Copies of this chain bind each other. A is one copy, B any other.
């Protein structure tokens, strides 16, 4: 009984450390679970209808993106100007509404989340260190294939460690001070 208890303790301990096959972020077949509590994480910034293409246009839709990061990775960034292993950045999409209640101009966020993507740093799992996942509701998601445009674009243009810190003003200030901006980055 003593040995069995010790073995269980080891298993629990491995799961809690977030390492290897027992990482609670993943299913056993390697899908990423959507983070349940990201609305209580640290907010980095929001944007409206951004597009990196010369020909923009969202087919008449107007949408806000909200970006959050898990609190412990945020604290590490504040200290070091870059991201630790296990960093999870979440982008959430919400409808941009003009007329509602007493509002007459501009846009506010309304309704349920219309989409959720995660950018996760996990060098033990992913070549290049980072992977993207796009979620459909509460279902775990398979990795977006590493040949997709998002990887090369983030690699080429991300201000810090393949992430778009140039669009997160409080972090951009920290990275500038700590001199952790990518040599590829052009303001």
A contacts, CB < 8 Å to B: 39-40, 42-43, 45-54, 56-57, 64, 66, 68, 71, 74, 94, 96, 100-112, 153, 157, 159, 164, 166-170, 173, 185-187
Whether the Cβ atoms of A47 and B187 lie closer than 8 Å is no
- In the complex, the chain B residue whose C-beta lies closest to that of A78 is B40
Chain B residues positioned under 8 Å from A168 (CB to CB)? 109
A157 → B minimal CB distance (Å):
5
The answer to whether A105 and B43 touch across the interface, beta carbons within 8 angstroms, is no
Measured between beta carbons, the chain B residues less than 8 angstroms from A94 are 45, 169
* Number of chain copies forming the complex: 2
A52 touches B107 (CB 8 A): no
Can you list 8 A-B pairs, Cβ within 8 angstroms, ordered by A? Answer: A39-B170, A40-B74, A45-B108, A46-B46, A51-B106, A53-B105, A102-B153, A110-B167
A101 touches B157 (CB 8 A): yes
CB of A168 to closest CB in B, whole Å: 8
Question: Which residues from B are CB-within-8-Å of A56?
Answer: 104-106
Q: B101 touching A159 by the CB < 8 A rule?
A: yes
Q: Is the CB of A64 within 8 A of B52?
A: no
A105 to B51, CA, bound (A): 5
